[in-house]
């Protein structure tokens, strides 16, 4: 059975963001050039009507006024992916974890590659903060929206100023 979805595109400091929702909540947040973005034909009709709270909370986040999101989410993924995405939401604003930290939080320190793969398939970037996961040496590694956007988000959360323009 097909899930009824709607979508809209909003502007942000990191470029246009495509928001996708079901009746149960936000199911996608995709950046320009986003790796692993589903075919746009699956996004449903364009309708900004159901995205007021998402837009407001993202505006507050980008202006430095919001450190946590309180939105109904409806990501589609395997049970393991859902567990990884839930764990991502526990990483505090302004902090980073390694993939090992994330795997240990899930109780399986040997699952680093599986955790990394699930992290990369996160359909709700920013709100489910996959950008807060870095390499074990602190290096910036893969991000579906690109490393410049990841750097921007991490610098914003740490109080730094980024000169990246999108």
Provide φ and ψ at 104, rounded to 5°. -65, -40
Q: Please identify which of the residues 130, 133, 134, 144 carries the catalytic annotation.
A: 130
Instruction: Kindly state whether residues 55 and 120 are assigned to the same domain.
Output: no
Among 18, 37, 62, where does a domain finish?
A: 62
Number of domains in the chain: 2
Quick: pLDDT tens for 24-77.
999 999 998 888 788 888 898 999 888 999 999 999 999 999 999 999 999 999
| CATH number of the domain bearing residue 109 | 1.10.10.10
Domain that holds residue 56: 6-62
Asked, for residue 69, whether it belongs to a domain, the answer is: no
The predicted structure's pLDDT at residue 144: 73
Instruction: Kindly state whether residues 89 and 58 are assigned to the same domain.
Output: no
Residue 96 has a CB neighbour count (10 Å cut-off) of 18
Q: What's the whole-model pTM score?
A: 0.89
**Whole-number Å distance between alpha carbons of 28 and 30:** 6
Asked, for residue 73, whether it belongs to a domain, the answer is: no
Quick: pLDDT tens for 111-143.
989 999 999 899 999 999 999 998 887 778 777
Residue 162 has pLDDT above 70, yes or no: no
**Whole-number Å distance between alpha carbons of 149 and 27:** 20
Residue 130 bears catalytic tag:
yes
Instruction: Kindly state whether residues 55 and 88 are assigned to the same domain.
Output: no
């Amino acid at each position: 059975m097909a899930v009824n979805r709607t979508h809209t595109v909003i502007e942000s400091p990191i470029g246009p963001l495509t928001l996708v929702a079901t009746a149960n909540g936000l199911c996608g947040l995709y950046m320009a050039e986003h790796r692993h973005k589903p075919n746009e034909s699956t996004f449903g009709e364009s309708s900004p009507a159901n995205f007021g709270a998402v837009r407001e909370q993202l505006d507050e986040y980008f202006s430095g006024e919001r450190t946590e999101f309180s939105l109904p989410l409806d990501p589609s993924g395997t049970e393991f992916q859902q567990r990884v995405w839930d764990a991502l939401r526990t990483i505090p604003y302004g902090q980073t974890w390694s993939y090992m930290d994330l795997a240990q939080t899930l109780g399986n320190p040997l699952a680093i590659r599986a955790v990394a793969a699930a992290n990369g398939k996160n359909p709700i970037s920013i709100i489910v903060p996959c950008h807060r996961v870095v390499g074990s040496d602190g290096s910036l590694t893969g991000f579906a929206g690109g490393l410049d956007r990841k750097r921007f988000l991490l610098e914003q959360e740490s109080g730094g100023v980024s000169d990246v323009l999108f």
